[in-house]
A and B are shown apart, each in its own frame.
Chain A
Amino acid sequence: MREQLLRIIEKNSRIDLKELAVILGVEEADIIEELQKCEQEGVICGYHTMIDWDKVGVEKVSALIEVRVTPQRGQGFDKIAERIYKYPEVNAVYLISGGYDLLVSLEGKTLREVSAFVSDKLSTLDTVISTATHFILKKYKDHGTILEKKYEDTREKVTP
């Protein structure tokens, strides 16, 4: 049941517990217990809401920053990653394979604010060799959700 439960709430964390129990064919109490377990075990790390801020009219600037760093003896990339992810404006930090080491996802109010973060904070870290900042111009799809498109049922309305 766990996998199915998680698949459903990954898409819709606000689903009613009674309804969850019905569609999974189990008791509501079992759902509650399983959710608590998942929370305690850190399987469920949080419940968030996806917002298209553009539609609210709130200006936001997002950027993806490639960072090349010198790994530190005994700590590898973890130490430097930690220094970066502690900044609240940083959304996500990934260690990746390929041409650079860390991919940092950043959100700021303005272009200037993001630039300032990169030049003042990120680039000045000892172990950072270089950065390349990519500003996001448009989000088409995020967290598996297509942002622009609305579902439209184009089927014939009654068919055998």
Chain B
Amino acid sequence: MRNPLADKVVDIPFSGIRKFFDIVSEMPDAISLGVGEPDFDTPWHIRDEGIYSLEKGRTFYTSNAGLKELKMEVANYLKRKQGLEYDFQKEILITVGGSEAIDIGMRVMLNPGEEVLIPQPSYVSYEPCVTLAGGVPVIINLKQENEFRLTAQELLDAITDKTKILVLPFPNNPTGAILEEKDLQEIARVCIEKDIFVMSDEIYAELTYKEKHISIAQMPGMQERTILINGFSKAYAMTGWRLGYACGPADIIEQMLKVHQYAIMCAPTTSQYAAVEALKNGDEDVREMREAYNQRRRYLVHAFREMGLDCFEPFGAFYIFPSIQEFGMSSDDFATRLLMEEKVAVVPGTAFGACGEGFLRISYAYSLENLKIAIGRIQNFVERLRKEKQ
């Protein structure tokens, strides 16, 4: 029989997270700090709206680009939160999570051999999506000394005459890093000068703990060259609803709509009705969840520093990214031993790019009570390692 598989796909490695998932699943008493989704339930009024839509028999496809009402609410939301103006008829596409938007965005923009700059550590799907779309991923290794921000110089150094897109994954999973206005201004200057498009993954936009999130699209001259991706998963604790959106120039969105139409048809109808409610009446829920995350964030940063582990203060998402370089072990070895000896699951930084070596991603999408127990165990482990070294 012939090989049924495509080399392009087979050559893509599985996510580094899989290995841990397999082990942790077999350990019922393990505490996991490895989850990349909120611990809150979707607020009841949002769920209720989804249930209501089912009761009313709204069980059919919506238009390909999404419910008109939802697209209008997305436009209102971006205007209200970020002062961005998008035409809901031509510049907004409702997708199956932010993930789909990343995928089809790459597919409609890349010709074979064109390069996409991907700052790492970052979410696991950019690189494979670029490869599958026929593009060439080019990694920019972010540095702890810059608090894992992307600098204009790092960007300049990575640009070639084949560079077409810059992925901007901030607030960042796994580091918790954010970009502020001055960072964005400099990046915007380079993008305009070098004629580069930006795919800005702002799924964690609502979860920042310093100043309000700013989008690269807000920088002068950038909206016309930016695909802004956001969604409902993180802000409204709606991961399982699979709903996101892409906003951008009409000619790009039009082509994304075409791929979306052929590949997906439309995003889930029930989720779209629930999302309308989220955008209309969810601000207070978001505020409450943000405050809870912020308390846990302060607790964890404090706890890791008390342990003497190097940890920059992250101001976004719900992760901290402490360094374990003092132990001279790989992230993978550290995480494996921590899991085996203390039954705490964390994700090695290397799951998010080679430059995550020496770091761990710790999620604080857990109750404080849970975090306290985990911290106690990590402390035991760290003390044991330090004794071993002596």
- The interface of chain A, by Cβ under 8 A from chain B, is 4, 7-8, 19, 22-25, 151, 153, 155-160
Contacts and interface: CB of A to CB of B under 8 A. Distances in A.
26 contacts: A22-B299, A23-B298, A23-B299, A24-B295, A151-B367, A153-B39, A155-B35, A157-B24, A157-B25, A157-B30, A157-B35, A157-B345, A158-B20, A158-B24, A158-B32, A158-B34, A158-B35, A158-B345, A158-B347, A159-B34, A159-B35, A159-B36, A159-B37, A160-B15, A160-B123, A160-B173
Contacts of A159: 17, 21, 34-37
A28 B145 CA distance: 30
Interface string B4-17: 00000000000101
Contacts of A160: 15, 17, 36, 123-125, 173, 347, 351
Contacts of B298: 22-25
Contacts of B296: 23
Interface residues of B, number: 28
B299 A158 contact: no
Nearest to A160: B124
A155 B363 CA distance: 13
A8 B367 CA distance: 13
Contacts of A151: 367
A160 B220 CA distance: 33
A157 B291 CA distance: 24
B151 to A, nearest CB: 25
Q: Across the A-B interface, give the 4 residue pairs with the lowest CB-CB distance, nearest first.
A: A23-B295, A158-B34, A158-B21, A157-B32
Contact of B21 (A7, A22, A157): A157
Interface string B119-131: 0000111000000
B108 interface: no
B302 interface: yes
Interface of B: 15, 17, 20-21, 24-25, 30, 32, 34-37, 39, 123-125, 173, 291, 295-296, 298-299, 302, 345, 347, 351, 367-368
A156 B35 contact: yes
Contact of A156 (B21, B125, B367): B21
A56 to B, nearest CB: 23
Nearest to B240: A155
Contacts of B124: 160
Nearest to B288: A7
A151 B347 CA distance: 24
Contact of A19 (B21, B24, B37, B299): B299
Nearest to A12: B368
Contacts of A158: 17, 20-21, 24, 32, 34-35, 345, 347
Contacts of A19: 299
B291 A4 contact: yes
A24 B294 CA distance: 8
Contacts of B37: 155, 159
Given A158-B32, A158-B35, A160-B36, 18 more contacts: A22-B298, A22-B302, A23-B295, A23-B296, A23-B298, A23-B368, A24-B298, A153-B39, A155-B39, A156-B21, A157-B25, A158-B21, A158-B24, A158-B347, A159-B21, A159-B36, A160-B17, A160-B123
Among A23, A155, A159, A160, residue most surrounded by chain B Cβ atoms (within 10 Å): A160
B43 to A, nearest CB: 14
Nearest to B361: A160
A158 to B, nearest CB: 4
B334 to A, nearest CB: 15
Contacts of A8: 295
Nearest to B20: A158
B115 to A, nearest CB: 24
A105 to B, nearest CB: 25
A133 B295 CA distance: 44
B76 to A, nearest CB: 27
A158 B351 CA distance: 12
A156 B39 CA distance: 11
B344 to A, nearest CB: 11
Contacts of B32: 157-158
Among A8, A19, A23, residue most surrounded by chain B Cβ atoms (within 10 Å): A23
Contacts of A24: 295, 298
A43 to B, nearest CB: 19
